Structure 1
Amino acid sequence: MCSRYTFLADEQPVMLSTSWEPLDLTHGTPVMFPEEGPHAGAGVVARMRAIGQHIESVQVVVTARPVLRSEAEPLGEALGSVVMVIQRTYRTAERAVDGRHRGAHGPVRGGVRPAGGMTPAHRPRADG
């Protein structure tokens, strides 16, 4: 399952996020759609626990890079702007159960991005 989100701060897009969860694990369960059902909006750990999966580790990699063409327009940024990228992978003992790419964390101006106040603007879309 692939879910895409656009996060807003002060009604402006500041972050794009894509999440992947293995459909062979979530298909037909109450957590198949992250923003629907009895576990809507719950975190990955709680949602996976609800279907008997125990998260044992989380890997986070933070980098910066030039904004991609596909990110520049939704974020209102010029090509060449530098954005922060956060890649996070949740794992059980057997496999990765959620991969998140929070690409384009808005421009890095002065090395600081204000925290808080961000809300998802769009519900996830199932891409298979």
Structure 2
Amino acid sequence: MKFTRTANANWKGTGMDGAGTISTQSTTLNKAQLSFKTRFADGVGTNPEELIAAAHSGCFTMQLSFLLSEQGFTPEDLNTEAQVTFEDGTITKIHLKLEASVPGISEQDFQDTATKAKEVCPVSKLLKAAEITLSAVLL
């Protein structure tokens, strides 16, 4: 399977005083605000780090559900928070914080499967330059 997805960012003005928008092909994001404040302070809108966190948490969680299904488990709930750390002009770390309810799975099988999902999810592969860690809690 091969496909291409697109997003568009538009910016007007300087880095600190300017503003922009970001839109996605699906229009889920449609001219969402982008600015210095939304990236480095508090403001209404989004930022690249938040979008990376959304992409990574979504990809990892879907990958995990596929791997669990292949093993015969049906997850009741998979909830993943991706914490993207931006430090001195670089994204230095991503921590995936997973809480899951998967009936019938052992703790060891759950940990092994979650770790494999982190390693093989396409966004994890893309982001290998950053340190990506995982803490997984089976409820």
User: Same-fold call, TM > 0.5?
Assistant: no
Q: Which structure has the larger Rg over C-alpha atoms?
A: 2
Q: Per the shorter chain, which TM-score range?
A: under 0.3
**Bigger proportion of residues as helix:** 2
Q: TM-score, normalised by structure 1?
A: 0.26
Tell me which of the two structures has the higher relative contact order, counting C-alpha pairs closer than 8 angstroms and 6 or more residues apart: 1
